[in-house]
Amino acid sequence: MPAATSAPKLVDSQYVPYIGEDLALSRIDVTTLGDLLLKAYDQFPNKPALIFPDSNWTYSELVARAMRTARGLQAIGVKPGDNVGLLLPTGTDLVETFFAIAFCGATAVLINARYRAAELAYVIENSNAVTVVTTDTIAEQVDFTQRLTAAFTDLSSQSDALHLKIGAAPKLSLILR
């Protein structure tokens, strides 16, 4: 009796399209978030990019501000491949800094503004953030400086603010406010 033959098994990476499906429509250009912003700027420089109750920015304004902030981040040592914590209230500063981090080639680690001290410490340590960008203003009833100080008790005893040495987050070297 001949051996039964079975249909070849598909590897997870193999995709069989439906009859008539146009896979060209499913393809996207691989790009970065910074490139996506620049592409929108190229097409719509004077169109609104951000609309908040207290301010509106065009793509041109957003790109200019994010580029300026990116240069500042690079000047303090943010490099491509770095993880940068972002602990800011929702608003234009958050969006500007998010794209600035992307322009640096770094990865933004968005940190929930409502995290308690232990959660902040956990995220910052486990994300391997080398820098955290935050604010010293109290926003939405949250004092970010107080939260970070509670998360890292040895923060207040640091003698060199540009080269932090925090046992709980060994890769963290700078908190930028």
pLDDT tens, per residue, the chain with 177 residues: 555 555 555 555 666 667 777 777 777 776 889 999 999 999 999 999 999 998 999 999 999 999 999 999 999 999 999 999 999 998 999 999 999 999 999 999 999 988 999 999 999 999 999 999 999 888 778 888 899 999 998 888 888 877 888 888 889 988 888
CATH number for 55: 3.40.50.980
Does 25 fall in a domain? no
| pLDDT tens per residue across span 116-132 | 999 999 999 999 999 99
Q: How far is CA 29 from the centre of its chain?
A: 20
Global pTM reads 0.80
101 by Cβ neighbours in 10 Å (0-12 / 13-18 / 19+) ranks as: buried
Report, in angstroms and rounded to the nearest whole number, the Rg of the chain calculated over CA atoms. 22
Does 132 fall in a domain? yes
Q: Collect all residues with Cβ–Cβ distance below 8 Å to 108 and sequence separation of at least 6.
A: 84, 86, 97, 98, 101, 102
Does 148 fall in a domain? yes
Which domain range does residue 68 map to?
A: 30-176
* pLDDT value of position 13: 62
